[in-house]
Amino acid sequence: MALPNYQHNPTAAADIDSLIGSTPLLGFRRITAHLPDNVTIYAKAEWTNPGGSVKDRAAANIIRQAERAGELTRDRILVDSTSGNTGIAYAMIGAARGYRVRLFVPANASPERLAILRAYGAELVLTDPLEGSDGAILAVRELVSAEPDRYFYANQYNNPANWQAHYHTTGVEIWQQTHGRVTHFLAGLGTSGTLMGTGRRLKHYNPQVQIISLQPDSPFHGLEGLKHMPTAIKPGIYDEALADHNLAISTEATHEMARRLAREEGYLVGISAAAAMVGALHMADELAARGEPGLIVTLFPDNAYKYLSETFWTK
């Protein structure tokens, strides 16, 4: 089921924002070779965004909306908690637009991410690694409550501009790229913005499209950027009723899939991308077992360049 690429290629970019979005769909050969012809998996290559991840979409929209509302000005510091990718997007856009950016990041974030953030000039506050992303959230809230007039709190976990970015871009792109034939969409849960926005848009186009959420199978996991929702601080933008199905993904299966994608498909992707492929393949196998057709689309949030210090690559 070959699909043409749908990608906007401007001859010149007006600014960094104009490079965000219109990411290509990737197909697969070896990992999906066992599937029947009527069950297909595609993944959006979100590392082609200028900041290297899907989080460019949300960060750009959060900043644009805050500028329009007069909430973000040159005399206020943009602050937020992040596991890395959204922070990189804030730092990149902040550098381009002349904003100071201060980020609360768990101290166990990959050294590659921390190096990128520092390269953009972001101010970093490293939080307790044992508290994960929730610890960073609590720390930034404490700062902002003490001096609210000094900061613009981007608040990616509760800011509707996060999911709206995907409603207006990611969901539209997927619908156009598949010519309206997408039957299933899967995404991991971190802030939940990607699933909420893309899922709502695809449901708007066709209520029969199945939306599947992915999350770690345990509160103690190694899937950086993903939340185990039953034990985490739930994002305000998260609506658990949106997903038609929920899949729990193991760290071990994700690490194995990251290696397979690199060695069998040539896709060197990040941890959450590998988790997405585990979920997509699980759904594809279920459809094939039932003799049902499907065009499954997932999303690869970033590539592996920020995770190469992880030891699982060498197994």
Q: Which residue segments constitute the domains of the chain, with CATH numbers given?
A: 16-53+166-314 (3.40.50.1100), 55-160 (3.40.50.1100)
Q: What is the pLDDT of residues 243-290, one digit of tens each?
A: 999 999 999 999 999 999 999 999 999 999 999 999 999 999 999 999
Q: What is the pLDDT of residues 203-216, one digit of tens each?
A: 999 999 999 999 99
**pLDDT of 311 higher than 80:** yes
Tokens of residue 193, six digits: 């913005």
Q: What is the pLDDT of residues 143-169, one digit of tens each?
A: 999 999 999 999 999 999 999 999 999
Per-residue pLDDT, 222: 81
List 44, 55, 227, 306, catalytic entry: 55
Per-residue pLDDT, 11: 55
Per-residue pLDDT, 5: 52
d(CA 72, CA 13): 24
Q: What pTM did the predictor assign?
A: 0.92
Q: What is the pLDDT of residues 20-66, one digit of tens each?
A: 999 999 999 999 999 999 999 999 999 999 999 999 999 999 999 99
Sign of the torsion formed by the C-alpha atoms of 93, 95, 99 and 102: positive
Answer yes or no: 250 catalytic.
Answer: no
Place of tokens 């609210």: 148
List 110, 133, 213, 272, catalytic entry: 272
pLDDT band at 98 (very low <50, low <70, confident <90, very high): very high
Cα angle: 56, vertex 273, 57; to 5 degrees: 15
Q: Where are the alpha helices (DSSP H) in the chain?
A: 55-69, 85-97, 111-119, 132-146, 160-168, 170-177, 193-205, 251-260, 271-290
Residue, of 15 and 150, whose pLDDT is higher: 150
Tokens of residue 54, six digits: 């899907």
Tokens of residue 52, six digits: 């290297």
**What 8-state DSSP symbol labels residue 53?**
B
d(CA 304, CA 267): 9
Q: How many other C-beta atoms lie within 10 A of the C-beta of residue 76?
A: 16
Answer yes or no: 192 catalytic.
Answer: no
d(CA 270, CA 258): 7
